[in-house]
Structure 1
Amino acid sequence: MHDRSPSPTKLTDTERLNRLRLIRSDNVGPRTFASLLRHFGDAAHALERLPDLARRGGASGPGRICSEADAAAELATCGRFGIDLVAPEEAHYPARLGTIDDAPPLLGVRGARDALMRPMIAIVGSRNASGAGLKFAGQLARDLGDAGFIVISGLARGIDQAAHRATLANGTVAVLAGGHDRIYPPEHEDLLAALLEHGAAISEMPLGHVPRARDFPRRNRLISGASLGVVVVEAAHRSGSLITARMAAEQGREVFAVPGSPIDPRAAGANDLIKQGATLVTEAADVINAVTPIMERPVMLGAREDDEPLDFATDGGDRARIINLLGPSPISLDDLIRMADVSPAIVRAVLLELELAGKLERHGGGLVSMI
């Protein structure tokens, strides 16, 4: 059982080094990276333009650009850890992950890399899970693994670890919130070591990066993005698992939820998802039947928001009008284009300049705001 996707290419060593320099430079996130790469053709030309673009965005001084030496050192250290940094167009980059708007430009992978090429189902849920929830998560994961799917999760306590442990023999994928050498929680280092034999671990963070609170939602978008669908086993209101479910819906993935007791707060979030239209799950067949038609379609790296053209030939009036419309409250790109009455290419260029200057924040759903 495999997802079908286009034949992969392979980056040159120089391009890989330059792409690493670009994504490790100040104020360059995955969306900005994609825009820069598409507009300038390769990472080397994008790096050359960074200082000028940041200055146009109002940067007070030159931002830090990752040096060749630092990037080469990171690549060498990754090699010693058995980590490959792979791009979306290369082998062993999960095909579906490469289709999301903010796909990591380089993904650190290690373990049994072929597991990353198989169709994945995410299983997530409460860290403080009930015994019944842990048992069901394990059984569901085992059944999905036996059916040929890879179970992907976040290596967290509770439901995540139950799903990983149940599928060690079939292969499971752990998505890390920090660097490959900064495992959270620390007591799951043994679990990670065990799953690398038949499965894999992935992270977009550099080695040495200790996960912070804001890194977990970033990790969650990778869990949902790499999968055909996300199963929420137990989740309280306002839990991280519900963030993963929301991201799955935004990414066009299937959302599944396991019903729970209405008097158990750990089931409140999953029950709400069902009310909102998530597919109710009581056995693996519910998941398999829903995703099988999706698997028949090839996975394509289709057009994304960041593939739209940029136009840096902006006059002062256009730039001032766009900046004046921005504030601390998020506004959609479409509203900004309509209200500024300028072309989408100009708006995108100004937003990119502001982001490189550290003045713009991007939110989910295509919203932006000034910092």
Structure 2
Amino acid sequence: MPPSFGLALSDEQRLSWLRLIRSENVGARTFRTLLNQFGGAGEALAALPDLARRGGATRQLRLCSRADAERELAGLARIRGRVIALGEPDYPAVLAQMEGAPPLLTVIGSSAVFVQPSVSIVGARNASAAGRTFAARLAMDLGRAGFCITSGLARGIDAAAHEASLSTGTVAVLAGGADSIYPPEHIPLLARVLEGGAAVTEMPLGWEPRARDFPRRNRIIAGLSMGTVIVEAAMRSGSLITARLANEIGREVMAAPGSPLDPRCEGSNRLLRDGATLITCAEHVVEALSPGLRHQPDLFETSFSEGGQVSPAWNEDGEVRSRIEGLLGPSPCDVDDLVRLSGSSARDVQMSLLELELAGRLERHGNGRISLI
């Protein structure tokens, strides 16, 4: 059985959540910290300007206005889209288990596909005929075995995987807004995906995808799936980024072997050399994922809720923040090390980091590491 979530936002709360996540310097982890501290998105929004000022912001923080949030929700409604909050029943359960999962996910299509176990199939845009044929066969066989196929709507392997799983369920993860489809020639393909599947994104409506948005998309692809299969990937490719992100969040990484003479297979072959699971058919994928299928994840329990109890106040005299700034530098470090070396409570350290992040002075890296900009 899929996890059962208990959060139910009112229209006003959903609007406040959207305003908060669309405000400047507010990411998924910052969002969670703010709700835990202030008990609601509305209260967090009111506190943002002062938090940024305390963190050393040199200009006023840009907050998402109520009018802008209302326009986004109305625009989504026109294309039959909606925003689902982390912890609500329709939010993909497997994505919710990922650290830093998007607090709000824009969804078009049927959320019923999120109930199926999912496998991601990604690979080269300039894929060979053999690569596309294999991706399509794998997607079709996995679909018949009860899996939803997740991919990024890109040319090549992604498109082949979507096409082959239209009748059994597929999810397209977008790098831009729900109305900014890339590549444009895949708009008809997306329409077919939505007949029985879904498209998801964490980006605002109207957002045109940029190069730096694709790794964010790739993280959602990995997070939506129990495992990721790479079919043809060069050494410098987005597919390898997806594989790395899947590995970081503890999901199975699999790859199909390719010709050592084909540069399109150099990266996927390297994954196999480094320990990825070798697969040549759907049965191999099912076998690799079988432990996870037998042991369904525990129910997800969100650590924040609207109208919840406000966390105790933190040290506001600037002492902790000064110590944290002194310990931080351009080299990434662990938050646990900051707590130990500063001699401060974990809450005071987290709030100091929140102030620095809202001021645009903090950079987050993989595995929870941070550095000062």
TM-score range, shorter chain: over 0.9
Q: CA deviation at 1:237?
A: 0.8
Structure 2 unaligned residues grouped into runs of 5+? 304-310
**Cα deviation 1:45-86 (Å, max 9, x = unaligned):** 111111111111011232111111211121111111100100
Instruction: Give the distance between the partners of 1:107 and 1:240, measured in 2 at CA.
Output: 22
Question: Any conservation in 2 of the 1:96–1:299 contact (CA below 8 Å)?
Answer: no
Equivalent residue number for residue 318 of structure 2: 316
Question: Any conservation in 1 of the 2:176–2:213 contact (CA below 8 Å)?
Answer: yes
Q: Which amino acid aligns with 1:357?
A: A
Q: Which amino acid aligns with 1:80?
A: R
Equivalent residue number for residue 175 of structure 2: 177
Q: CA deviation at 1:303?
A: 7.7
Instruction: Give the distance between the partners of 2:312 and 2:106, measured in 1 at CA.
Output: 29
Equivalent residue number for residue 131 of structure 2: 133
- 1:89-238 alignment, distance < 5 Å: 89-238=87-236
Aligned CA RMSD, in angstroms, stands at 1.6
Instruction: Give the distance between the partners of 2:369 and 2:345, measured in 1 at CA.
Output: 17
- State the SS of the aligned residue for 2:290: helix
Equivalent residue number for residue 50 of structure 1: 48
Question: Any conservation in 1 of the 2:23–2:62 contact (CA below 8 Å)?
Answer: yes
Instruction: Give the distance between the partners of 2:318 and 2:91, measured in 1 at CA.
Output: 42
Distance 1:8 1:303, change over 3 A: closer
Q: CA deviation at 1:169?
A: 1.2
- State the SS of the aligned residue for 1:108: strand
* Residues 1:241 and 2:243 are matched in the alignment: no
* Residues 1:80 and 2:78 are matched in the alignment: yes
Instruction: Give the distance between the partners of 1:170 and 1:194, measured in 2 at CA.
Output: 12
Structure 1 unaligned residues grouped into runs of 5+? none
- State the SS of the aligned residue for 2:93: coil
What is the TM-score of this pair, normalised by structure 1? 0.94
Residue from 338, 356, 359 that aligns with 1:357: 359
Instruction: Give the distance between the partners of 1:272 and 1:335, measured in 2 at CA.
Output: 34
Question: Any conservation in 2 of the 1:88–1:95 contact (CA below 8 Å)?
Answer: no
Equivalent residue number for residue 343 of structure 2: 341
Instruction: Give the distance between the partners of 2:298 and 2:220, measured in 1 at CA.
Output: 16
Instruction: Give the distance between the partners of 1:292 and 1:303, measured in 2 at CA.
Output: 27
Instruction: Give the distance between the partners of 1:9 and 1:315, measured in 2 at CA.
Output: 35
Equivalent residue number for residue 269 of structure 1: 267
What is the TM-score of this pair, normalised by structure 2? 0.94
Distance 1:338 1:311, change over 3 A: farther
Equivalent residue number for residue 290 of structure 1: 288
Instruction: Give the distance between the partners of 1:9 and 1:49, measured in 2 at CA.
Output: 23
The 10-residue stretch of structure 1 (329-338 or 238-247) with the greater mean CA deviation from structure 2: 329-338
Question: Any conservation in 2 of the 1:133–1:234 contact (CA below 8 Å)?
Answer: yes
Instruction: Give the distance between the partners of 2:7 and 2:286, measured in 1 at CA.
Output: 31
Q: CA deviation at 1:314?
A: 4.6
- State the SS of the aligned residue for 2:211: coil
Distance 1:299 1:229, change over 3 A: farther
Question: Any conservation in 1 of the 2:227–2:246 contact (CA below 8 Å)?
Answer: yes
- State the SS of the aligned residue for 1:323: helix
Instruction: Give the distance between the partners of 1:78 and 1:290, measured in 2 at CA.
Output: 38
Instruction: Give the distance between the partners of 1:303 and 1:93, measured in 2 at CA.
Output: 12
Instruction: Give the distance between the partners of 2:302 and 2:318, measured in 1 at CA.
Output: 30
Residue from 19, 22, 25 that aligns with 1:24: 22
| Percent of residue pairs identical | 57
Equivalent residue number for residue 327 of structure 1: 329
**Cα deviation 1:146-205 (Å, max 9, x = unaligned):** 001000000011110110011111121000000111100111111001110011100111
The alignment of Structure 1 onto Structure 2 pairs a total of residues equal to 365
- State the SS of the aligned residue for 1:174: strand
Instruction: Give the distance between the partners of 1:39 and 1:319, measured in 2 at CA.
Output: 17
- State the SS of the aligned residue for 2:203: coil
Q: CA deviation at 1:342?
A: 2.4
The 4+ residue runs of structure 1 with deviation greater than 6 A are none
Q: CA deviation at 1:8?
A: 4.2
* Residues 1:5 and 2:3 are matched in the alignment: yes
